[in-house]
Structure 1
């Protein structure tokens, strides 16, 4: 049987409260009593529950993290960034996904009620923003990662989706590509709207507004990217470039272009978004807009941990810039 705080109290001839005060350094204690309790702890090999000690101190030293799924291509980078910071500072991470829908959220809510963590990092599962906002309003420190343009009423870390789209457009225009196909993300997402707006504004300013027939909603998947290109080619719509709102869609588009007998980048230049590790291993390697996903996870975790130490959470979003990474899917090697 594991040694309990009651065992220590009985052997030392004190109350469990006294043992707890010794463990947590709270209150004034007789020096000899405290020394006796520590000696008994050592003799019995008692290891206090980290959770119990944390609760006694008013902290669990655990950070919660809520995400939609672990299957998103860039999720690992965000998680690694958050974990690097959390573990370095001596905290644990309690991870929740929404893979099972309402059942997952009920389980998460029970952990919130049990005060199992000191604060929460969130990559918003669809339809949960109001609930997360309410948790923050009730006193749970929350930092949102990748706000999708929602601009929530609590702290967030985001990136420059609009300027990323604009930079992709400028690059294609510099290459003389005047008729791009845009495979968007899911339409309600703020990141989709921002990337499309940035891209479209640059083309409009250059006197080449986007052809509405060449702006097609995608779903961030390889299969949808491939299907869009195949359908438009079957319909006889011409395009000399593709801007896909993520790298998986771009990879699907790349396959469909090559299956048609066209060449990338000679016939069709191709730009993705995210810069997941796979992007540099396509054939040809993919030009893409790099999102600093690991840095976003790091920044959100630092913001939350600094709040635990007394630094107020910021009112304005913390914005990290995107960067265009040029590879062979747009530039023919010299």
Structure 2
């Protein structure tokens, strides 16, 4: 019995003698054979694999994004080829080899530094890709993001509702779109409430714990009276808590603190951190579904897919 005959039976071709088809299916049932999804994909010109390019795996919310991606891909019979940029140009060269070898059908990415030119070329060539958390603000890319501006609005409203009036913001790096959105949302909400944000209270950080502590330190050393701080990610918020504790400022009695992301450590700081939950796992799921729909022949949506944030109230700003 030839491989070609077995293949025709498995693919329900009508040109196989009925008795032969019965014998083939009896053997299949007896051996428990199942067709290789990868082999079927290759026969159709597909790898049944999705590539993913990320800066690295140390970002606190990266694991949740990856889990969301993996859950959707696994359910649909796809594999995941993960690429990081830990080795800079060497990593990009290795990733480019995978692209040239047609190692995957489409790409999910969280934009690593110094890759935009290459990624833009791929996108312009028509290669299917979806950007997650578009920090560089590239409106031409299909993308999934969270409601950064609304999350900051919710943080500002909560601080105002608890009576806070002299607030500082520790931002992320100014080149990131999420930084601009979070700053605009917080600032405009204070202005609408008649509590404008003073420029000296708007301090750029770097999304690290040390960066949060160092950003707020000069205000504390100068004896500035603050009653609220919005740090634009949880790691910086933890740094702010460190600095306030060292300066003898009680949280939340003297100063309320709100972060952004709701990474696992947020529930275990002292005091537990009030924060804006960024739905990282849901973002990964949505991006994977969007890419698989494109691979199935559906067009990409014209607008970014937005997964909403939510305010998680804990002891640092009850």
Task: Give the TM-score normalised by structure 2.
Answer: 0.90
Q: Is the 1:149–1:194 contact (alpha carbons within 8 Å) kept by the matching residues of 2?
A: no
* Residue of structure 2 in register with 1:119 after alignment: 106
Deviation at 1:34, TM superposition (A): 8.8
1: CA distance, partners of 2:310 / 2:72 = 23
Aligned pair 1:256/2:243, yes or no? yes
* Residue of structure 2 in register with 1:190 after alignment: 177
2: CA distance, partners of 1:19 / 1:210 = 75
Q: 1:70 aligns with which of 54, 57, 78?
A: 57
2: CA distance, partners of 1:237 / 1:203 = 19
Q: Is the 2:57–2:63 contact (alpha carbons within 8 Å) kept by the matching residues of 1?
A: yes
Matches within 5 A, 1:56-135: 56-135=43-122
Matches within 5 A, 1:298-309: 298-309=285-296
Q: 1:285 aligns with which of 249, 256, 272?
A: 272
Aligned pair 1:168/2:155, yes or no? yes
* Residue of structure 2 in register with 1:297 after alignment: 284
Aligned pair 1:273/2:260, yes or no? yes
Go from structure 1 to structure 2 and tell me whether the alpha carbon gap of 1:264 and 1:54 turns closer, same or farther (over 3 Å shift). same
2: CA distance, partners of 1:49 / 1:23 = 15
Q: Secondary structure at the match of 1:83?
A: helix
Deviation at 1:163, TM superposition (A): 1.2
Per-residue CA distance 1:261-281 (angstroms, 9 max, x = gap): 111000000000001111111
Per-residue CA distance 1:50-91 (angstroms, 9 max, x = gap): 655432221111111111110001001111011011001111
Per-residue CA distance 1:274-333 (angstroms, 9 max, x = gap): 0111111111111101111111100111111122222222111111111111111012xx
Deviation at 1:171, TM superposition (A): 0.9
Per-residue CA distance 1:118-162 (angstroms, 9 max, x = gap): 111111112323422321222321111111261431311111111
Aligned pair 1:138/2:125, yes or no? yes
1: CA distance, partners of 2:220 / 2:9 = 71
Matches within 5 A, 1:208-247: 208-247=195-234
Task: Give the TM-score normalised by structure 1.
Answer: 0.85
1: CA distance, partners of 2:317 / 2:144 = 30
* Residue of structure 1 in register with 2:308 after alignment: 321
Deviation at 1:36, TM superposition (A): 10
Alpha-carbon RMSD across the aligned residues, in angstroms, is: 2.7
* Residue of structure 2 in register with 1:154 after alignment: 141
Deviation at 1:33, TM superposition (A): 9.2
- Where structure 1 has 5 or more consecutive residues not aligned to the other structure, the ranges are 1-11
Deviation at 1:229, TM superposition (A): 2.4
Matches within 5 A, 1:36-55: 51-55=38-42
Deviation at 1:191, TM superposition (A): 0.3
Per-residue CA distance 1:167-197 (angstroms, 9 max, x = gap): 1111111112111111110110000011011
2: CA distance, partners of 1:85 / 1:219 = 32
2: CA distance, partners of 1:201 / 1:172 = 14
Go from structure 1 to structure 2 and tell me whether the alpha carbon gap of 1:149 and 1:177 turns closer, same or farther (over 3 Å shift). farther
1: CA distance, partners of 2:138 / 2:117 = 12
1: CA distance, partners of 2:221 / 2:66 = 41
Q: Is the 2:203–2:216 contact (alpha carbons within 8 Å) kept by the matching residues of 1?
A: no
Q: Is the 1:24–1:56 contact (alpha carbons within 8 Å) kept by the matching residues of 2?
A: no
